Amino acid sequence: MARSEADADSRQEVWGDLRAFLEISKERGEVQVIRDADPHLEMGALYELSLRKKYPPVLLFEEIKGYPKDHRVLMNVRTSRLLVGNLDLEAVQDIRRRRQRGEQKSIPPERVNDGPVLEYVQRDDDVNILTFPAPKWHPQDGGKYIGTECIVITKDRDSDWVNVGTYRTMVQDEKTLSVFIEPGKHGDIIRRRYWEHGEACPIIVCVGQAPVLGNIAGSSSRYGASELAQAGGRLGRAIRTVHGEVTNLPFPADAELVFEGFMPPPDVESRPEGPFAEWTGYYASDSRPEPIVRVARVYHRSDLIILGQPPAKPTYPGRQTNLAGAAALWDAIEAAGVPEVKGVWKLLGGGTRFTNVIAIRQKYAGHAKHAGLAAIGSVGAFLGRIIIVVDDDIDITDSAEVMWALATRWDPKTQTDIIEGCWTGNLDPTLSPEKREAGDLTSSRIIIYAVRPFHWMDKYPAVNQFDRSDLEYVAKKWKGLLPLLDE
Protein backbone atom coordinates (compact mmCIF):
# COMPACT_ATOMS: atom_id res chain seq x y z
CA MET A 1 0.00 0.00 0.00
CA ALA A 2 1.33 3.47 -0.88
CA ARG A 3 2.26 5.77 2.03
CA SER A 4 -0.53 8.23 1.20
CA GLU A 5 -3.13 5.43 1.20
CA ALA A 6 -1.77 4.07 4.48
CA ASP A 7 -1.93 7.55 6.00
CA ALA A 8 -5.56 7.91 4.88
CA ASP A 9 -6.49 4.57 6.48
CA SER A 10 -4.67 5.50 9.69
CA ARG A 11 -6.39 8.88 9.85
CA GLN A 12 -9.81 7.28 9.57
CA GLU A 13 -9.00 4.86 12.39
CA VAL A 14 -7.61 7.41 14.82
CA TRP A 15 -10.25 10.12 14.33
CA GLY A 16 -12.50 8.01 16.55
CA ASP A 17 -10.02 6.87 19.21
CA LEU A 18 -7.58 9.13 21.06
CA ARG A 19 -5.49 6.28 22.45
CA ALA A 20 -5.25 4.66 19.03
CA PHE A 21 -4.05 8.02 17.74
CA LEU A 22 -1.31 8.08 20.37
CA GLU A 23 -0.14 4.54 19.68
CA ILE A 24 -0.04 4.94 15.90
CA SER A 25 1.72 8.31 16.23
CA LYS A 26 4.34 6.63 18.42
CA GLU A 27 4.84 3.91 15.81
CA ARG A 28 5.38 6.59 13.18
CA GLY A 29 8.00 8.33 15.32
CA GLU A 30 5.92 11.52 15.62
CA VAL A 31 5.60 11.68 19.43
CA GLN A 32 7.99 13.59 21.68
CA VAL A 33 7.72 12.44 25.32
CA ILE A 34 8.57 15.11 27.89
CA ARG A 35 8.88 14.22 31.58
CA ASP A 36 8.97 16.39 34.71
CA ALA A 37 7.90 19.62 32.98
CA ASP A 38 6.58 22.46 35.12
CA PRO A 39 2.94 23.31 34.33
CA HIS A 40 3.64 26.91 35.36
CA LEU A 41 4.61 28.42 31.97
CA GLU A 42 7.26 25.80 31.06
CA MET A 43 4.79 23.50 29.29
CA GLY A 44 3.37 26.50 27.44
CA ALA A 45 6.84 27.62 26.35
CA LEU A 46 7.73 24.12 25.08
CA TYR A 47 4.47 24.04 23.14
CA GLU A 48 5.18 27.42 21.56
CA LEU A 49 8.67 26.26 20.54
CA SER A 50 7.12 23.20 18.86
CA LEU A 51 5.07 25.48 16.60
CA ARG A 52 8.19 26.50 14.68
CA LYS A 53 7.56 23.42 12.53
CA LYS A 54 4.73 23.26 10.00
CA TYR A 55 3.83 19.83 11.40
CA PRO A 56 4.77 20.17 15.07
CA PRO A 57 5.62 16.98 16.95
CA VAL A 58 2.91 15.43 19.09
CA LEU A 59 3.91 16.37 22.63
CA LEU A 60 3.17 13.91 25.43
CA PHE A 61 3.81 15.33 28.89
CA GLU A 62 4.29 12.65 31.54
CA GLU A 63 5.14 12.86 35.26
CA ILE A 64 4.10 16.50 35.28
CA LYS A 65 5.55 18.42 38.19
CA GLY A 66 3.11 18.58 41.11
CA TYR A 67 0.59 16.05 39.75
CA PRO A 68 0.04 12.28 39.88
CA LYS A 69 2.39 10.37 37.57
CA ASP A 70 -0.46 8.73 35.66
CA HIS A 71 -2.01 12.09 34.66
CA ARG A 72 -0.76 13.06 31.19
CA VAL A 73 -1.23 15.98 28.79
CA LEU A 74 -1.21 15.42 25.02
CA MET A 75 -0.72 18.30 22.57
CA ASN A 76 -0.58 18.98 18.82
CA VAL A 77 -3.11 16.26 18.02
CA ARG A 78 -5.21 18.01 15.37
CA THR A 79 -2.13 19.64 13.82
CA SER A 80 -0.29 16.32 13.48
CA ARG A 81 0.69 15.02 10.07
CA LEU A 82 -1.31 11.87 10.82
CA LEU A 83 -4.61 13.74 11.10
CA VAL A 84 -3.99 16.74 8.87
CA GLY A 85 -2.40 15.09 5.85
CA ASN A 86 -1.42 17.69 3.27
CA LEU A 87 -2.22 21.33 3.97
CA ASP A 88 -3.88 22.17 0.67
CA LEU A 89 -7.26 22.68 -0.95
CA GLU A 90 -7.73 18.94 -1.33
CA ALA A 91 -7.57 18.69 2.46
CA VAL A 92 -10.33 21.31 2.69
CA GLN A 93 -12.39 19.33 0.17
CA ASP A 94 -11.80 16.17 2.18
CA ILE A 95 -13.19 17.90 5.30
CA ARG A 96 -16.19 19.08 3.28
CA ARG A 97 -16.85 15.54 2.09
CA ARG A 98 -16.59 14.22 5.64
CA ARG A 99 -18.87 16.99 6.92
CA GLN A 100 -21.45 16.24 4.26
CA ARG A 101 -21.20 12.52 4.92
CA GLY A 102 -21.64 13.18 8.63
CA GLU A 103 -24.71 15.35 8.04
CA GLN A 104 -26.26 13.16 5.37
CA LYS A 105 -25.53 9.92 7.18
CA SER A 106 -25.85 11.13 10.75
CA ILE A 107 -25.78 8.28 13.21
CA PRO A 108 -27.34 9.14 16.58
CA PRO A 109 -25.21 8.36 19.63
CA GLU A 110 -25.70 4.99 21.28
CA ARG A 111 -26.48 5.11 24.99
CA VAL A 112 -24.59 2.50 27.01
CA ASN A 113 -24.45 1.78 30.71
CA ASP A 114 -20.70 1.56 31.16
CA GLY A 115 -17.46 2.74 29.67
CA PRO A 116 -13.79 3.42 30.50
CA VAL A 117 -14.59 6.97 31.66
CA LEU A 118 -16.57 5.56 34.60
CA GLU A 119 -13.53 3.80 36.01
CA TYR A 120 -13.16 6.48 38.69
CA VAL A 121 -15.91 8.80 39.93
CA GLN A 122 -15.59 11.73 42.36
CA ARG A 123 -18.89 12.77 43.93
CA ASP A 124 -20.01 15.87 45.81
CA ASP A 125 -17.60 16.57 48.70
CA ASP A 126 -14.95 14.30 47.15
CA VAL A 127 -14.71 16.43 43.99
CA ASN A 128 -11.25 17.94 43.63
CA ILE A 129 -10.46 19.53 40.28
CA LEU A 130 -7.04 20.59 41.56
CA THR A 131 -5.73 17.04 41.33
CA PHE A 132 -5.70 17.24 37.51
CA PRO A 133 -3.03 19.08 35.48
CA ALA A 134 -4.17 22.60 34.59
CA PRO A 135 -1.21 24.62 33.29
CA LYS A 136 -0.74 28.33 33.25
CA TRP A 137 0.00 28.48 29.53
CA HIS A 138 0.95 32.12 28.86
CA PRO A 139 2.82 34.70 30.99
CA GLN A 140 -0.11 37.08 31.45
CA ASP A 141 -2.91 34.52 31.78
CA GLY A 142 -5.19 35.17 34.72
CA GLY A 143 -5.23 31.58 35.90
CA LYS A 144 -4.84 27.90 35.09
CA TYR A 145 -6.73 26.56 32.07
CA ILE A 146 -7.62 22.87 31.95
CA GLY A 147 -9.87 23.26 28.89
CA THR A 148 -8.16 24.41 25.68
CA GLU A 149 -9.05 21.48 23.40
CA CYS A 150 -12.17 20.50 25.30
CA ILE A 151 -15.78 19.86 24.35
CA VAL A 152 -18.62 21.49 26.26
CA ILE A 153 -21.97 19.69 26.18
CA THR A 154 -25.31 21.38 26.87
CA LYS A 155 -28.92 20.52 26.11
CA ASP A 156 -31.69 22.85 24.96
CA ARG A 157 -34.12 23.42 27.82
CA ASP A 158 -37.25 22.86 25.72
CA SER A 159 -36.20 20.16 23.25
CA ASP A 160 -33.99 17.10 22.82
CA TRP A 161 -31.22 19.03 21.08
CA VAL A 162 -27.80 18.34 22.58
CA ASN A 163 -25.10 20.78 21.52
CA VAL A 164 -21.34 20.26 21.57
CA GLY A 165 -19.01 23.28 21.39
CA THR A 166 -15.48 24.25 22.34
CA TYR A 167 -15.02 27.02 24.93
CA ARG A 168 -12.01 27.78 27.09
CA THR A 169 -12.24 26.51 30.67
CA MET A 170 -10.42 27.95 33.68
CA VAL A 171 -9.98 26.36 37.09
CA GLN A 172 -11.32 28.53 39.92
CA ASP A 173 -10.96 26.18 42.89
CA GLU A 174 -11.32 22.52 43.77
CA LYS A 175 -15.04 22.46 42.90
CA THR A 176 -15.48 25.35 40.47
CA LEU A 177 -14.71 26.05 36.81
CA SER A 178 -15.29 29.06 34.55
CA VAL A 179 -16.37 28.45 30.96
CA PHE A 180 -16.01 31.47 28.67
CA ILE A 181 -18.63 31.46 25.88
CA GLU A 182 -18.90 34.29 23.36
CA PRO A 183 -22.38 35.90 23.11
CA GLY A 184 -24.39 34.42 20.25
CA LYS A 185 -22.66 31.03 20.26
CA HIS A 186 -24.99 28.04 20.55
CA GLY A 187 -23.83 27.27 24.08
CA ASP A 188 -24.62 30.84 25.09
CA ILE A 189 -28.12 30.72 23.56
CA ILE A 190 -28.85 27.48 25.37
CA ARG A 191 -27.66 28.62 28.80
CA ARG A 192 -29.62 31.85 28.60
CA ARG A 193 -32.87 29.92 28.20
CA TYR A 194 -32.29 28.29 31.58
CA TRP A 195 -31.30 31.61 33.15
CA GLU A 196 -34.45 33.32 31.86
CA HIS A 197 -36.40 30.86 33.99
CA GLY A 198 -34.14 31.36 37.01
CA GLU A 199 -32.53 27.95 36.54
CA ALA A 200 -28.92 26.77 36.46
CA CYS A 201 -27.83 25.33 33.12
CA PRO A 202 -26.77 21.66 33.18
CA ILE A 203 -23.31 21.34 31.62
CA ILE A 204 -20.57 18.83 30.84
CA VAL A 205 -16.93 19.75 30.22
CA CYS A 206 -14.84 16.97 28.67
CA VAL A 207 -11.09 17.60 28.42
CA GLY A 208 -10.01 14.39 26.68
CA GLN A 209 -11.91 12.74 23.81
CA ALA A 210 -11.72 11.33 20.28
CA PRO A 211 -10.22 13.84 17.80
CA VAL A 212 -13.37 13.82 15.64
CA LEU A 213 -15.37 15.34 18.50
CA GLY A 214 -12.93 18.19 18.99
CA ASN A 215 -12.90 18.77 15.24
CA ILE A 216 -16.68 19.03 15.02
CA ALA A 217 -17.10 21.00 18.25
CA GLY A 218 -14.60 23.60 17.07
CA SER A 219 -16.25 24.24 13.69
CA SER A 220 -19.56 25.80 12.70
CA SER A 221 -22.74 23.70 12.67
CA ARG A 222 -26.28 24.80 11.95
CA TYR A 223 -28.49 25.66 14.88
CA GLY A 224 -30.20 22.54 16.21
CA ALA A 225 -27.75 20.10 14.60
CA SER A 226 -26.44 17.18 16.64
CA GLU A 227 -22.66 17.20 16.63
CA LEU A 228 -22.64 13.77 18.26
CA ALA A 229 -24.71 12.39 15.38
CA GLN A 230 -22.50 14.14 12.82
CA ALA A 231 -19.43 12.60 14.43
CA GLY A 232 -21.07 9.19 14.18
CA GLY A 233 -21.81 9.82 10.51
CA ARG A 234 -18.20 10.74 9.81
CA LEU A 235 -16.90 7.64 11.56
CA GLY A 236 -19.54 5.31 10.16
CA ARG A 237 -20.50 4.17 13.67
CA ALA A 238 -22.36 5.60 16.62
CA ILE A 239 -20.57 7.53 19.34
CA ARG A 240 -21.10 5.48 22.50
CA THR A 241 -22.28 7.69 25.36
CA VAL A 242 -22.97 7.34 29.04
CA HIS A 243 -25.15 9.80 30.94
CA GLY A 244 -24.28 12.00 33.88
CA GLU A 245 -25.55 11.09 37.31
CA VAL A 246 -26.81 14.60 38.12
CA THR A 247 -27.62 16.20 34.74
CA ASN A 248 -28.48 13.15 32.60
CA LEU A 249 -26.41 14.76 29.83
CA PRO A 250 -24.61 12.38 27.45
CA PHE A 251 -20.83 12.27 27.17
CA PRO A 252 -18.42 9.88 25.39
CA ALA A 253 -18.06 6.53 27.12
CA ASP A 254 -14.38 6.43 26.19
CA ALA A 255 -13.65 10.00 27.32
CA GLU A 256 -10.59 10.58 29.47
CA LEU A 257 -11.72 13.20 32.00
CA VAL A 258 -15.19 14.74 32.40
CA PHE A 259 -16.58 17.39 34.73
CA GLU A 260 -20.36 17.49 35.32
CA GLY A 261 -22.31 20.22 37.00
CA PHE A 262 -24.50 23.29 36.70
CA MET A 263 -23.92 26.86 35.56
CA PRO A 264 -26.10 29.24 37.63
CA PRO A 265 -27.25 32.60 36.23
CA PRO A 266 -24.45 35.18 36.33
CA ASP A 267 -26.37 37.35 38.80
CA VAL A 268 -26.40 34.38 41.18
CA GLU A 269 -22.67 33.75 40.97
CA SER A 270 -19.87 35.01 38.75
CA ARG A 271 -16.13 35.13 39.27
CA PRO A 272 -13.23 36.88 37.53
CA GLU A 273 -12.08 35.01 34.42
CA GLY A 274 -9.05 35.81 32.26
CA PRO A 275 -7.16 37.45 30.80
CA PHE A 276 -6.16 34.69 28.41
CA ALA A 277 -3.89 34.83 25.36
CA GLU A 278 -6.17 33.97 22.46
CA TRP A 279 -5.86 32.82 18.83
CA THR A 280 -5.81 36.44 17.65
CA GLY A 281 -2.28 36.75 19.04
CA TYR A 282 -3.42 39.13 21.80
CA TYR A 283 -4.80 39.20 25.31
CA ALA A 284 -8.04 40.44 23.81
CA SER A 285 -9.92 41.11 27.04
CA ASP A 286 -9.09 41.84 30.65
CA SER A 287 -10.27 39.89 33.66
CA ARG A 288 -14.00 40.33 34.16
CA PRO A 289 -16.88 38.49 35.88
CA GLU A 290 -17.99 35.37 34.01
CA PRO A 291 -20.46 32.57 34.86
CA ILE A 292 -19.08 29.60 36.77
CA VAL A 293 -19.73 25.85 36.81
CA ARG A 294 -20.35 24.17 40.13
CA VAL A 295 -18.88 20.71 39.59
CA ALA A 296 -20.84 17.87 41.22
CA ARG A 297 -19.18 14.88 39.55
CA VAL A 298 -15.79 14.07 38.02
CA TYR A 299 -15.37 10.96 35.85
CA HIS A 300 -12.01 9.73 34.60
CA ARG A 301 -9.96 6.82 33.33
CA SER A 302 -6.70 5.48 34.73
CA ASP A 303 -3.56 6.81 33.02
CA LEU A 304 -5.77 9.63 31.83
CA ILE A 305 -4.92 11.95 28.94
CA ILE A 306 -5.86 15.63 29.00
CA LEU A 307 -5.84 17.32 25.61
CA GLY A 308 -4.05 20.65 25.48
CA GLN A 309 -4.04 23.12 22.59
CA PRO A 310 -3.75 26.67 23.93
CA PRO A 311 -3.78 29.49 21.39
CA ALA A 312 -0.54 31.05 20.21
CA LYS A 313 0.43 33.91 17.94
CA PRO A 314 -0.93 32.93 14.50
CA THR A 315 2.30 33.63 12.62
CA TYR A 316 3.97 30.36 13.67
CA PRO A 317 4.06 27.70 10.91
CA GLY A 318 2.66 25.11 13.32
CA ARG A 319 -0.50 27.12 13.83
CA GLN A 320 -1.31 26.03 10.27
CA THR A 321 -4.40 27.27 8.53
CA ASN A 322 -7.94 26.62 9.74
CA LEU A 323 -8.93 23.84 7.34
CA ALA A 324 -12.24 23.11 9.08
CA GLY A 325 -13.15 26.80 9.08
CA ALA A 326 -12.37 27.10 5.38
CA ALA A 327 -14.53 24.04 4.67
CA ALA A 328 -17.45 25.47 6.66
CA LEU A 329 -17.20 28.81 4.86
CA TRP A 330 -17.02 27.10 1.45
CA ASP A 331 -20.17 25.13 2.28
CA ALA A 332 -21.98 28.30 3.36
CA ILE A 333 -21.06 30.22 0.21
CA GLU A 334 -22.30 27.43 -2.04
CA ALA A 335 -25.44 27.05 0.09
CA ALA A 336 -26.15 30.74 -0.66
CA GLY A 337 -26.30 29.84 -4.36
CA VAL A 338 -22.88 31.10 -5.46
CA PRO A 339 -21.69 28.97 -8.43
CA GLU A 340 -18.17 28.11 -9.58
CA VAL A 341 -16.46 28.45 -6.20
CA LYS A 342 -13.04 26.91 -6.79
CA GLY A 343 -11.50 27.31 -3.37
CA VAL A 344 -11.73 28.89 0.08
CA TRP A 345 -8.69 29.48 2.27
CA LYS A 346 -7.77 31.26 5.49
CA LEU A 347 -4.40 32.95 5.21
CA LEU A 348 -1.70 31.97 7.69
CA GLY A 349 -1.14 34.88 10.03
CA GLY A 350 -4.74 35.96 9.71
CA GLY A 351 -5.60 34.64 13.15
CA THR A 352 -7.18 31.51 11.57
CA ARG A 353 -10.33 33.57 11.05
CA PHE A 354 -9.63 37.20 10.15
CA THR A 355 -8.53 36.85 6.52
CA ASN A 356 -10.60 34.69 4.15
CA VAL A 357 -9.77 34.21 0.47
CA ILE A 358 -12.30 32.91 -2.07
CA ALA A 359 -11.42 31.82 -5.60
CA ILE A 360 -14.17 31.85 -8.23
CA ARG A 361 -14.46 31.32 -11.97
CA GLN A 362 -16.44 34.40 -12.97
CA LYS A 363 -19.60 33.64 -14.95
CA TYR A 364 -21.64 36.85 -14.73
CA ALA A 365 -21.43 40.50 -13.77
CA GLY A 366 -21.60 40.80 -9.99
CA HIS A 367 -20.41 37.23 -9.44
CA ALA A 368 -17.50 38.36 -7.23
CA LYS A 369 -19.80 40.55 -5.14
CA HIS A 370 -22.27 37.68 -4.80
CA ALA A 371 -19.48 35.51 -3.34
CA GLY A 372 -18.14 38.23 -1.05
CA LEU A 373 -21.49 39.19 0.44
CA ALA A 374 -22.50 35.55 0.90
CA ALA A 375 -19.26 34.95 2.80
CA ILE A 376 -19.51 37.98 5.04
CA GLY A 377 -23.02 37.03 6.16
CA SER A 378 -22.04 33.48 7.06
CA VAL A 379 -21.41 32.18 10.55
CA GLY A 380 -18.31 30.57 9.03
CA ALA A 381 -16.88 34.09 8.70
CA PHE A 382 -17.33 34.92 12.42
CA LEU A 383 -14.67 37.54 13.20
CA GLY A 384 -13.68 37.43 9.52
CA ARG A 385 -12.59 41.02 9.11
CA ILE A 386 -11.20 40.67 5.57
CA ILE A 387 -12.78 38.84 2.61
CA ILE A 388 -10.68 38.69 -0.55
CA VAL A 389 -12.27 37.39 -3.76
CA VAL A 390 -9.86 36.37 -6.53
CA ASP A 391 -9.97 34.65 -9.92
CA ASP A 392 -9.48 30.91 -10.05
CA ASP A 393 -6.00 31.14 -11.61
CA ILE A 394 -4.69 32.43 -8.25
CA ASP A 395 -3.22 29.86 -5.85
CA ILE A 396 -5.05 31.00 -2.74
CA THR A 397 -2.90 28.79 -0.48
CA ASP A 398 0.10 30.94 -1.43
CA SER A 399 0.15 34.34 0.30
CA ALA A 400 2.44 35.76 -2.42
CA GLU A 401 -0.10 34.85 -5.11
CA VAL A 402 -2.91 36.50 -3.14
CA MET A 403 -0.83 39.65 -2.64
CA TRP A 404 -0.06 39.65 -6.38
CA ALA A 405 -3.79 39.58 -7.12
CA LEU A 406 -4.31 42.48 -4.71
CA ALA A 407 -1.50 44.46 -6.28
CA THR A 408 -2.55 43.95 -9.91
CA ARG A 409 -6.32 43.29 -10.04
CA TRP A 410 -7.78 45.41 -7.26
CA ASP A 411 -8.82 49.03 -7.59
CA PRO A 412 -9.42 50.24 -4.02
CA LYS A 413 -12.03 52.83 -4.97
CA THR A 414 -14.24 50.75 -7.26
CA GLN A 415 -13.63 47.17 -6.08
CA THR A 416 -14.17 47.47 -2.34
CA ASP A 417 -17.17 47.17 -0.02
CA ILE A 418 -17.05 48.09 3.66
CA ILE A 419 -19.91 46.64 5.69
CA GLU A 420 -20.68 48.04 9.13
CA GLY A 421 -22.49 46.49 12.09
CA CYS A 422 -21.12 42.95 11.59
CA TRP A 423 -21.01 40.36 14.37
CA THR A 424 -17.73 40.22 16.23
CA GLY A 425 -16.78 39.03 19.70
CA ASN A 426 -14.94 39.84 22.91
CA LEU A 427 -11.76 38.36 21.44
CA ASP A 428 -11.60 41.04 18.74
CA PRO A 429 -8.55 43.16 19.69
CA THR A 430 -9.92 46.21 17.81
CA LEU A 431 -13.08 46.36 19.92
CA SER A 432 -12.85 49.59 21.92
CA PRO A 433 -13.25 49.62 25.72
CA GLU A 434 -16.40 51.73 25.29
CA LYS A 435 -18.03 49.19 22.97
CA ARG A 436 -17.06 46.32 25.29
CA GLU A 437 -18.59 48.13 28.24
CA ALA A 438 -21.79 48.74 26.28
CA GLY A 439 -21.96 45.14 25.06
CA ASP A 440 -21.75 46.35 21.45
CA LEU A 441 -19.99 43.39 19.85
CA THR A 442 -20.05 44.70 16.29
CA SER A 443 -17.39 45.88 13.87
CA SER A 444 -16.88 46.69 10.20
CA ARG A 445 -15.65 44.26 7.56
CA ILE A 446 -14.06 44.78 4.18
CA ILE A 447 -14.63 42.85 0.97
CA ILE A 448 -11.86 43.20 -1.60
CA TYR A 449 -12.66 42.13 -5.16
CA ALA A 450 -9.17 41.37 -6.52
CA VAL A 451 -10.55 40.00 -9.79
CA ARG A 452 -10.38 41.02 -13.42
CA PRO A 453 -13.37 43.34 -14.06
CA PHE A 454 -16.00 41.09 -15.60
CA HIS A 455 -17.15 43.50 -18.32
CA TRP A 456 -13.66 43.74 -19.87
CA MET A 457 -11.97 40.51 -18.77
CA ASP A 458 -11.12 39.61 -22.36
CA LYS A 459 -9.07 42.81 -22.68
CA TYR A 460 -7.20 42.41 -19.38
CA PRO A 461 -3.42 41.99 -19.84
CA ALA A 462 -2.29 38.39 -20.22
CA VAL A 463 -0.35 36.77 -17.38
CA ASN A 464 3.40 36.35 -17.89
CA GLN A 465 3.61 32.62 -17.24
CA PHE A 466 4.14 29.35 -19.08
CA ASP A 467 1.33 26.80 -19.11
CA ARG A 468 1.81 24.14 -16.44
CA SER A 469 1.95 21.36 -19.06
CA ASP A 470 4.78 23.11 -20.90
CA LEU A 471 6.78 23.54 -17.70
CA GLU A 472 6.27 19.91 -16.73
CA TYR A 473 7.44 18.77 -20.20
CA VAL A 474 10.63 20.85 -20.03
CA ALA A 475 11.33 19.84 -16.43
CA LYS A 476 11.01 16.17 -17.35
CA LYS A 477 13.22 16.56 -20.42
CA TRP A 478 16.03 18.31 -18.52
CA LYS A 479 15.70 16.43 -15.24
CA GLY A 480 19.14 15.55 -13.86
CA LEU A 481 20.94 18.35 -15.69
CA LEU A 482 19.80 21.27 -13.56
CA PRO A 483 19.87 20.88 -9.76
CA LEU A 484 16.79 23.10 -9.50
CA LEU A 485 14.71 20.57 -11.44
CA ASP A 486 15.73 17.70 -9.16
CA GLU A 487 13.96 19.11 -6.08
- Side chain identity, residue 112: V
Confidence of residue 146 (pLDDT cuts 50, 70, 90): very high
Least confident interval from 101-105, 316-320, 327-331? 101-105
Q: CATH assignment of 87-308?
A: 2.30.110.10
Dist CA 289 CA 298 (whole Å): 25
Dist CA 125 CA 133 (whole Å): 20
pLDDT digits (tens, 9 = 90+) for 198-219: 999 999 999 999 999 998 888 7
- Residue 89 neighbours by CB distance under 10 Å: 19
Residues 6+ positions from 171 with CB-CB distance below 8 Å: 129, 130, 134, 143, 144, 145, 146, 177
Confidence of residue 400 (pLDDT cuts 50, 70, 90): very high
Q: Tell me what pLDDT residue 472 has.
A: 85
Q: Tell me what pLDDT residue 94 has.
A: 87
The reported pTM is: 0.87
pLDDT digits (tens, 9 = 90+) for 110-139: 999 999 999 999 999 999 999 999 999 999
Q: Tell me what pLDDT residue 234 has.
A: 87
Confidence of residue 1 (pLDDT cuts 50, 70, 90): very low
Least confident interval from 67-71, 255-259, 462-466? 462-466
DSSP line for 245-280: TTT--EEETT-SEEEEEEE--TTT-EEEE---B-TT
The answer on pLDDT for 288 being more than 60 is yes
Hey, where are the domains in the chain? Answer: 87-308, 321-459
Question: SS3 for 447?
Answer: strand
- Residue 409 neighbours by CB distance under 10 Å: 18
Question: SS3 for 72?
Answer: strand
Question: Taking all residues of the chain, what is their mean pLDDT, rounded to a whole number?
Answer: 91
224 within 8 A of 217, measured Cβ to Cβ: no
pLDDT digits (tens, 9 = 90+) for 337-349: 999 999 999 988 7
| Closest to 187 in 3D by CA, of 170, 217, 164, 204 | 164
Q: Tell me what pLDDT residue 2 has.
A: 46
| Closest to 117 in 3D by CA, of 351, 304, 318 | 304
What percent of the chain clears pLDDT 70, i.e. is strictly above it?
A: 94
The answer on pLDDT for 350 being more than 70 is no
pLDDT digits (tens, 9 = 90+) for 158-189: 999 999 999 999 999 999 999 999 888 999 99
Q: CATH assignment of 321-459?
A: 3.40.1670.10
- Ramachandran quadrant class, 358 (left: phi over 0; alpha: psi -120 to 50; beta: rest): beta
Strands (DSSP E) found in 180-252: 201-206, 240-243, 250-252
Segments in 28-184 forming alpha helices (H): 42-50, 81-84, 89-104
The answer on pLDDT for 317 being more than 80 is yes
Mean pLDDT across the stretch 19-29?
96
The answer on pLDDT for 486 being more than 60 is no
Burial class (CB in 10 A: 0-12, 13-18, 19+), 156: middle
Least confident interval from 50-54, 73-77, 310-314, 380-384? 380-384
Mean pLDDT across the stretch 36-56?
95
Q: How many residues are listed for the chain in this entry? A: 487
Mean pLDDT across the stretch 233-240?
92
Dist CA 152 CA 284 (whole Å): 22
Q: Tell me what pLDDT residue 3 has.
A: 47
